[in-house]
Amino acid sequence: MTDNVPDPRFGEQGGLLTYGSYLRLLELLDQQRPQTDPPAHDELLFITIHQAYELWFKLALHELTDARDRLLAGETYLPRVRLERCRAIGRLAVSQVDVIDTMTPQDFLTFRTALAPASGFQSVQFREIEFLSGLKDPGYVDRFRGLTDAERDNLLRRLDEPSLWDGFLRVLAAAGFPTDSAEDRFAAYATIAHDRNRYGPLWDLAEALVEHDQTWALWRARHVLMVERQIGTKTGTGGSSGSAYLRSRVELRFYPELWEFRSRL
Ligand code: HEM
Ligand SMILES: N[C@@H](CC(=O)c1ccccc1NC=O)C(=O)O
């Protein structure tokens, strides 16, 4: 067999592992179950897009958790690599909204009422990403309705454990920068920004955090537009004011000091 002639049995060897069995496609593709009767054509789109989001959220949490652990251990290289992958996932999450935009508001209404009181507000993984990134609001755990014990445990654990921001501060401290007060930290950012030759990895890491922050801010902004396009200013199925609530979340930042620092440069 020469190198460039494929074995005619290519893909058949062993006969045990298959594409479908490795990827558990029977199970995966059996999980899209529209509820509406009579069937609403766009409900399959709605379920599929949310499931795709949750898969990407799962991978993002895997990456961010490893980035956080490595920062706490004093590493800078792989945490930045992990954050870059998350940024690519985040961009995908933002552009995926285009698919929802192909649904008209009147078609959404054919199954919307059947969704209440469920809402994206109850996405545990979304809130885990916020907590792990550094935006910890314990109020959200109490406001969740219908959490399983395992989901509640996940959220409480994320609230309790160090965030990516804690990891970043650990790395700054390991490089000799005091980080106790905000003024200490602003002094550290200035030193790092003005001596990239010496502090390149720390600068790149801070910028990767800003990118991560920006990606989720873009998602919040894109989500509000999608919501207003679908339901205008109606209240949400989750019981919030809808777009007014979501607009108040657009201003949120994971790392406000890294944004504030821009004004001080
Ligand atoms: C037709 C499309 C959509 C509409 C009309 C919509 C509407 C809303 C509304 C009104 C809320 C506020 C909570 C409430 O009272 O219900 C909300 C929250 C949320 N939605 Fe959506 N949504 C849509 C699609 C999506 C998609 C595709 C995702 C992806 C996972 C998503 C994720 C979320 C999340 C994570 C929240 C909580 C945001 C926060 O608390 O900051 N939504 N959505
Ligand atoms: N909150 C949306 C409904 C909605 O979008 C939704 C419903 C159930 C599960 C996920 C959802 N997605 C995002 O909020 C609404 O008020 O129309």
State the complex-level ipTM: 0.98
pLDDT at position 16 is 86
| Inter-residue contact 22 to 88 (CB < 8 Å) | no
Q: Is 62 in the pocket of ligand 2 (CB under 6 A)?
A: no
**How far, in Å, are 50, 119, 238, 246, 251 from residue 111 at the CA level?**
15, 13, 15, 22, 31
pTM above 0.90, yes or no: yes
Q: Is the CB of 119 under 6 A from ligand 1?
A: yes
- Please indicate if the annotation marks 129 as binding a ligand: no
Closest CA to 52 of 82, 28, 71, 70: 28
* Dist. CA 23 → ligand 1 center (Å): 28
Instruction: Encode pLDDT of 54-82 as tens digits.
Output: 999 999 999 999 999 999 999 999 999 99
Looking at residue 215, what is its pLDDT? 97
Q: Which token pair is 220? A: 């919040």
Is the C-beta atom of 125 inside 6 A of ligand 1? no
Give the integer Cα–Cα distance in Å for 117 and 145. 9
Tens-digit pLDDT profile for residues 135-150: 999 999 988 888 999 9
Chain centroid to CA 60: how far?
A: 6
- Flag residues of the chain having pLDDT under 50: 1
Any atom of ligand 1 within 6 Å of the Cβ of 238: yes
Can you give the pLDDT at residue 2? 54
Separation of CA 236 and ligand 1 centre (Å): 8
